Amino acid sequence: MRARVVHIASNTFREAVRDRVLYNLIAFALLLSGAAILVGQISIDIEKLVVINLGLTAVSLFGVVIAIFIGIGLVSKEIEKRTLYTVLSRPVRRWEFIVGKFFGLAGTLVVNTFFMAIGVFAALFYVSHKFVRADALILVALYFIVLEFLIICSVALLFSSFSSPLLSAVFTFSLFVIGSFAEDLRGFAGMAHGFTRWLVTGAAYLLPNFSAFNIVSSIAHEQPVAAQLIWQNTLYAIFYATMALSGAVLIFEHRNLK
């Protein structure tokens, strides 16, 4: 059983890695890191700040785009075209398919992030000529970005399990945007009354909340990150991804494949 999940995951990874779209996006992200160096030279004092801010934001945004493109492309497309028929006619459980896809995608994104991070660190070294202790914070920021990706992947799978590729992409991207403004949504909930309040509060917990993951601007100012935050963010990502994946499994289990 576990072996099948691993096979599906590695196949997904292989298929994703060979998709040319991936390389274009990575190249673009690296380009942006390079551009950060130029932008930073406008003001010597904030060179490092700009490299970190722009570089990490690029990693985050492009990663999300990749997650959506590849994720939707791999899963929704597989469901829409009939690749899936030949897989499911084998002793593969539907839930194994979903879980395997998830790990394959997650693995792809981790590898992606790794390469893009190298670009950021290279740019950083270029402007600072050395690494300081505080630069380790960048690793924490990258870790949080990867956690965000895990959540996005699980959401992409959730939508893919019942929706067309285009709609899945749109919904997933929307959730990413909403997730970034999640704190404001909770603020709205706090100001609402009665039934609306319940509804908005429920939505605020149901929708992903990335506010605790966005530490880019604070680590750019070299503010430390509490160890407990790392723990809690990890747990949140695990629970949220589990929820979305379970939802995907539940829906997919009952879907008639036309």
Partner 1 sequence: MNAIEILGLEKTYLVGFWAKRPNRALHPLHLTVEEGEIFGFLGPNGAGKTTTLKLLMGLVFPTAGSARILGQEWTDPEVKAQIGFLPEQPYFYDHLTAHELLNYYAQLSGVPARERSRRVESTLHRVGLKDVHGVHLRKFSKGMLQRVGIAQAILHDPKLVFFDEPMSGLDPMGRREVRDLIEQLKHEGKTVFFSTHILSDAEALCDRVAIIHKGELRGIGAVEDLTSSVQGKVEVIWQGTQAPASMKALGAECHVTGDTVRAIISETQQDAAIDALRREGLRLIALTPVRTSLEAYFVEKLQHAETTAGRTT
Partner 2 sequence: MNQRRKISIVAGACVVLSLAASALILRRTDQLRPQATAEDVLFLSSPKVLKRASLGYDGLLADIYWTRAVQYFGGRHHNNAQSYDLLFPLLEITTHLDPQLVPAYQFGASFLAPPPPNGAGQPDRAIQLMEYGIQNNPDDWKLYYDLGFVYYMNLKDYQKAAEAFAQGSKVPDAHPFMGVLAAQMAQHAGEFDTARMLWSASYENSQDKQIRANAIEHLRALRVDEDVTHLQQAVTRFGERTGRLPVSMSELVTAEGLQGIPVDPDGHPYKLTPEGRVELRVPDDFPFATKGLPPGFKPQPKFRSQDQ
User: By CB under 8 A, what part of segment 24-83 binds partner 2?
Assistant: none
Spatial contact of 70 and 102, defined as CB atoms under 8 Å apart: no
Question: Among residues 111 and 243, whose Cβ is nearest to partner 2?
Answer: 243
Distance CA 116, CA 137 (A): 16
Query: Which of 191, 194, 256, 258 is close enough to bind partner 2 by CB under 8 A?
Result: 191
Residues 6+ apart with CB under 8 A from 121: 131, 135, 138
Q: Taking CB under 8 A as the rule, does residue 184 contact partner 2? A: yes
Point out which residues bind partner 1 (CB under 8 A). 3-4, 7-8, 11, 14-15, 18-19, 81-93, 254, 256-258
DSSP state letter for 81: S
Minimal distance in Å, beta carbon 236 to partner 2?
4
The one-letter code for the residue type at 222 is E
Q: Taking CB under 8 A as the rule, does residue 134 contact partner 2? A: no
Residue 240 touches which member of partner 2, partner 1, none, C-beta under 5-8 Å by kind: partner 2
What one-character-per-residue DSSP string does 3-42 give? Answer: HHHHHHHHHHHHHHHT-HHHHHHHHHHHHHHHHHHHHHTT
Query: From the DSSP assignment, how many helices (H) and strands (E) are in the chain?
Result: 11, 0
Residue 19 touches which member of partner 2, partner 1, none, C-beta under 5-8 Å by kind: partner 1
Question: Among residues 95 and 126, whose Cβ is nearest to partner 2?
Answer: 95
Distance CA 169, CA 167 (A): 5
Minimal distance in Å, beta carbon 104 to partner 1?
12
Distance CA 196, CA 3 (A): 47
Count of positions on this chain that bind partner 2 (CB under 8 A): 37
Residue 38 touches which member of partner 1, partner 2, none, C-beta under 5-8 Å by kind: none
User: By CB under 8 A, what part of segment 193-252 binds partner 2?
Assistant: 205-206, 209, 211-212, 214, 217-218, 221, 223, 226, 228-229, 232-233, 235-236, 239-240, 242-243, 245-247, 249-250
Q: How far is CA 230 from CA 35, 64, 214, 224, 226, in A?
A: 30, 21, 12, 11, 7
The token pair at 99 is 């879980």
The contact set with partner 2 (CB under 8 A) reads: 93-95, 181, 184, 187-188, 190-191, 205-206, 209, 211-212, 214, 217-218, 221, 223, 226, 228-229, 232-233, 235-236, 239-240, 242-243, 245-247, 249-250, 253-254
